[in-house]
Structure 1
């Protein structure tokens, strides 16, 4: 019984380690955010983790190798309001506050 519990614990720990590694590695590519005509675009190169979307964002373009999840607050919580697949773009929802790749 103890042996089975130790084996299960080892399997769960390995799974957690793999999940943590996958989330910590940056996406390859860039997320581009356009706000207004007179300002330069904001480029997030190889983004990882939660990134705050600039105020007044008008268009988001996902040029990464992963989907981009857009959230209504600056902390990437609780669930995405829009998901942009790889090599797509969309008008930023008025409530867009952050994104995670």
Structure 2
């Protein structure tokens, strides 16, 4: 046996509208940008490359092959390192977590990219 209830439409419509607004707000909330600095060190007596509050994809090159290239992640989010330009999807080589550093695998005269989240 089926039972039917009469629903108060005047209470239901505002409740549905508020639920839709709340769900839309959650779904479209923008990602929080990283704060802090990411630093690339390429050797003694060379200028540091510093990214302040970085977002998105950043291309960089080391020019002539340096003895070492180190990334220091002083941001509050992970940094993804790519062995090619423009941060290709699925092409990350490694991830450097906040508060950590990493010696990067570098070839001579090649462009690289970093993605900040």
Q: TM-score range by the shorter chain?
A: 0.7 to 0.9
* Unaligned 5+ runs, structure 1: 1-6
Q: Please tell me whether residue 81 in structure 1 is matched to residue 93 in structure 2.
A: yes
Structure 1 residues 85 and 37: alpha-carbon distance in aligned structure 2, compared to 1, 3 A threshold: same
Scaled by the length of structure 1, the TM-score of the pair is 0.74
Secondary structure in structure 2 of the residue aligned to 1:81? strand
1:98 matched to 2:113? The reply is yes
Partner deviation per Cα, 1:36-69 (whole Å, 9 max, x = no partner) = 2121111000000101133157100000000111
TM-score (norm 2): 0.64
Which SS does the other structure have where 1:53 is aligned?
A: strand
List, as ranges, runs of 4+ consecutive aligned residues in structure 1 with deviation greater than 3 Å: 11-14
Give unpaired runs (5+ residues) of structure 2. Answer: 1-18
Report matched runs for 1:1-101 at 5 Å: 15=27, 17-18=28-29, 21-22=30-31, 25-55=32-62, 56=65, 58-79=69-90, 80-94=92-106, 97-101=112-116
Q: How far off its partner does 1:81 sit?
A: 0.7
Q: How many residue pairs align between the two structures?
A: 89
Higher helix fraction (1 or 2): 1
Give the aligned CA root-mean-square deviation in angstroms.
2.5
Structure of larger gyration radius: 2
